[in-house]
Structure formats: structure tokens, C-alpha cells
Amino acid sequence: MAIQPIRLFGDPILRKPAREVVDFDRELRKLVEDLTDTMLAAPGAGLAAPQLGVGLRAFTWHVDGEVGHLINPTLELSEEMQEGLEGCLSIPELSIECRRALSVVARGFDMYGEPVTIHGSDLLARAIQHETDHLDGVLFIDRLDTDARKQAMRMIRESEWFGLERPTVKVSPHPMRGLGL
């Protein structure tokens, strides 16, 4: 098991767009394993590579007992919308109503480079949209209306974890090609 520290709100990597995965190698499979183990231990409904400090377009999800991952996702969103509570492992103890598309068709690749298409609605659609946002440097609080965002920011500033030091980052002995922070 390879549980990693999750980057918290305020860490610059959470605001940086991630790069496309080009190498579907052992290192990527290890990243997917680390994402999955960390997400399940947290526990959470999803986790994106930037949340572990890796600037690659990869994420995992755990919804309704299904665990999966997607690399280099592209999304087709329904016009029908849903409102629902949303939280984030990088913003602990905060859940707030957020508007998302009700359903999604997500296309990308698995960790071996095979094409994958995921059809999701309700919570799975929310998780896929949330994690894809992370890959673009977008946090769910960015999607809130002004009043809700002010409330969320107030709650973040008052939280026990806000302003804590970021986790110690170990430098990989393997070439990261500028993707690890």
C-alpha cells in the first residue's frame, strides 16, 4: 500500500494545469496505485494526481462501490444540471452545495494506454467533473456563487488545518521531466 500525503488548499500545484500523460509506463501505474490507495484510505470519492503533487492528467474515483481511474480525460456534459453537496480532500471538513452537470461522458485512457469511455450520472458525474477540474487547476469552490464562495473561504480560514506547512516533498530518483513538484 502506498498512501501519500494529500496537498491542501493553498499549495500552488492545485492551481497549475496538469500535463497530458505521454508515457503509459510502470511509473504511471505506480501513480494510479498511489492515487487509489490514498483515496480509499482518506476516504474520498476521487483523487487527482495534482493532489499528490504530480502534474499529470490522471485521477481515480470510488463511487457506489466502483473504483476506477482515467488518464487524459475529455468530457461531454449534459445540459441538465444537479445541485448537491460537494467536498474535496484538499479542503478538509468543507462540504457545500455546488452545481454540476447531471451526467457526463468521459473519454480517456486506462493506465495501459487503452481507450476508455465512462458514462456517469449523479455522484459519478460529479466526481468525474470535480477531478477533471483539478487537472485544469480549478477547485470546486471556484464554481460557487459569490456568497457561497465567501462562506467557503471564511470556513477555510477558520479551519484548524489552514496555514499548516505543506508536506515534505521527497525528490524522486527517477526522471520526472518537470512533472513532479
Residues annotated as catalytic are: 131
H-helix segments, the chain: 26-41, 122-135, 146-158
Taking phi first (over 0 means left), then psi (-120 to 50 degrees means alpha), and beta for anything else, what does residue 111 get? alpha
Give residue for cell 525528490: 171
Number of residues written out for the chain:
181
For 26-66, the DSSP string reads: HHHHHHHHHHHHHHHHTT-SEEEGGGGTB-BSEEEEEETTE
- Cα–Cα distance for residue pair 153/147, rounded to 1 Å: 10
Nearest to 53 by CA among 10, 12, 2: 12
